[in-house]
């Protein structure tokens, strides 16, 4: 059996990569002329293809391995390599798949119809198409991983037809819904909702926000740690500035984690690294939305950023100003001029301060 190893750099040979692979447990390695890891992966793929061709494509499956032991091994392997949210998603989907197929089911006995039957049964319970599509992606990831381990010859989910997800309507709050929504938020979620609706901050920017990044005198917040490591200035709406001043400074972070408030502000820890708990953000948003009569599928957390965009548009500013306030990059070289035009914080501040929902919130 051919198995790819992890390539490493040979610093004594011009920082080029050394390819590593295993055949029937025997380790092999070879210096390559490549300085990019992607080129080494292509080289190893060619080696694996050549091996399978010369061996007649023979892979000895593990006929005795059960589905339960395979799932457990998969989850152990991915526990340290994935975020908490992704790991929980993997575990939840695969546990449901186990319950449907049976713990003692042999891995090699699984076929396309088993996956299709699982998805059909799941659909009958009223699960949305988007959730079914996400479940199928997890099962395909698991099946492909089992192939790489040499336990099965071919993925049992490879031939499952993709699930079409209908394009939903744009979900955001209308101006007259903003005040009732904020009044229905829990005290811990209220400052996060205000900073999102009136300043357009992302989840990752919120969980990594420090007090040193907030300039109360200038009314500006400097956000970092989103899709890029660039720092962007964010003008604070008066309501957001007032809400920030109410928060106790018990930590260097605006939204801290303490022993008695784990996940209190949607923050997850992996070692020393802070990451956002997407489920927490969406759950709090849907809870507040339900209190004002919105259905669970009518609003999620990202809809609050869309609400901010619509509020800015309502002030009379064009889409380019809105995109800059949302932290969107120029997208093309020709748009760099637009970035300079709207980079002035005073112009951005006038756009934010012009937002008026016509009702007192707090």
The confidence score (pLDDT) of residue 33 equals 76
Does the residue 154 lie in any domain?
no
Residues 191 and 329 in one domain: yes
**Residue 170 located in a structural domain:** no
**286: number of Cβ within 10 Å:** 19
Look at residues 133, 149, 165 and tell me which one is the last residue of a structural domain. 149
Same domain, 130 and 191: no
Note the pLDDT of residue 183. 93
Q: What is the three-state SS of the chain?
A: CEEECCCEEEHHHCCEEEEEEEECCEEEEEECCCCCHHHHHHHHHHHHHHHHHHCCCCCCCCCCCEHHHHHHHHHHHHCCCCCHHHHHHHHHHHHHHHHHHCCCCEHHHCCHHHHHHHHHHHHHCCCCHHHHHHHHHHHHHHHHHHHHHCCCCCCCCCCCCCCCCCCCCCCCCCHHHHHHHHHCCCCCCHHHHHHHHHHCCCHHHHHCCEHHHEECCCCEEEECCCCCCCCEEEECCHHHHHHHHHCCCCCCECCCCCCCCCCCCCEEEECCEEEECHHHHHHHHHHHHHHCCCCHHHCCCHHHHHHHHHHHHHCCCCHHHHHHHCCCCCCCHHHHHHHHHCCCHHHHHHHHHCCCCCCCCC
pTM of the predicted structure, to 2 decimals: 0.53
Considering the domain boundaries, does residue 191 fall inside one?
A: yes
Clarify whether residues 205 and 307 are in a common domain: yes
Which segments of the chain have a pLDDT < 70? Answer: 1, 11-14, 50, 52-62, 80-85, 167-170, 225-229, 258-266, 268-272, 330-347, 361-362
Tell me: do 98 and 24 sit in the same domain.
Answer: no
Q: Phi and psi (nearest 5°) for 133?
A: -65, -40
Asked whether residue 202 falls in the same domain as residue 345, the answer is yes
The CATH number that applies at residue 127 is 1.10.150
* Same-domain status, 329 and 198: yes
Does residue 48 sit in the same domain as residue 75?
no
Structural domain of residue 44, as residue ranges?
A: 2-54
Examine residue 21 and state whether it is found in any structural domain, yes or no. Answer: yes
**167 domain-assigned:** no
Residues 277 and 346 in one domain: yes
Number of domains the chain contains? 3
pLDDT of 275: 76
105, 236: one domain: no
Q: Are residues 250 and 345 in the same domain?
A: yes
Give the model's pLDDT for residue 264: 60
pLDDT of amino acid 362:
64
Query: Which tens digits make up the pLDDT trace of 175-187?
Result: 889 999 999 998 8
Q: Could you read off the pLDDT of 38-78 as tens digits, one per residue?
A: 888 888 887 777 676 555 444 455 677 889 989 988 888 87
> What CATH number is given to the structural domain containing 344?
1.10.443.10
Q: Are residues 46 and 137 in the same domain?
A: no
Co-location of 29 and 109 in the same domain = no
Per-residue pLDDT tens over the stretch 349-359: 777 888 877 77
């Amino acid at each position: 059996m051919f198995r790819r190893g992890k390539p490493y750099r040979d610093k004594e040979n011009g920082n080029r990569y050394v390819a590593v692979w295993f055949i029937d447990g025997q380790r092999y390695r070879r210096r390559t002329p490549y300085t990019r890891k992607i080129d080494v992966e292509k080289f190893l793929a060619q080696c694996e293809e050549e091996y399978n061709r010369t061996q007649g494509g023979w892979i000895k499956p593990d006929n005795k391995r059960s589905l339960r032991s395979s799932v457990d091994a998969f989850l152990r392997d991915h526990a340290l390599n994935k975020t908490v949210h992704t790991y929980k998603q993997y575990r939840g989907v695969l546990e449901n798949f186990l319950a449907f197929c049976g713990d003692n089911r042999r891995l090699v006995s699984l076929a396309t119809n088993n996956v299709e039957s699982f998805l059909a049964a799941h659909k009958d319970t009223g699960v949305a198409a988007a959730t079914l599509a996400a479940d199928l992606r997890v099962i395909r990831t698991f099946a492909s991983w089992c192939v790489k381990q040499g336990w099965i010859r071919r993925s049992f989910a490879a031939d499952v037809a993709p699930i079409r997800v209908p394009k939903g309507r744009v979900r955001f709050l209308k101006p007259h819904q903003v005040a009732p929504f904020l009044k229905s938020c829990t005290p811990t979620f209220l400052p996060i909702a205000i900073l999102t609706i009136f300043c357009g901050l992302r989840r990752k920017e919120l969980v990594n926000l420090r007090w040193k990044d907030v300039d109360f005198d200038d009314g500006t917040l400097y956000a970092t740690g989103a899709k890029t490591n660039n720092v962007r200035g964010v003008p604070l709406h008066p309501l957001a500035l007032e809400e920030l001043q109410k928060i106790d400074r018990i930590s260097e972070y605006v939204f801290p984690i303490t022993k008695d408030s784990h996940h209190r502000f949607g923050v997850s820890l992996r070692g020393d690294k802070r990451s956002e708990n997407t489920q927490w953000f969406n759950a709090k948003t849907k809870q507040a939305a339900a209190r004002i009569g919105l259905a669970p599928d009518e609003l999620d957390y990202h809809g609050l950023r869309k609400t901010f965009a619509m509020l800015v548009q309502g002030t009379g500013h064009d889409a380019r100003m809105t995109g800059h306030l949302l932290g969107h990059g120029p997208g093309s070289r020709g748009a760099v001029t637009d970035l300079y035009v709207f980079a002035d914080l005073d112009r951005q501040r006038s756009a934010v301060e012009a937002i008026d929902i016509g009702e007192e919130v707090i």
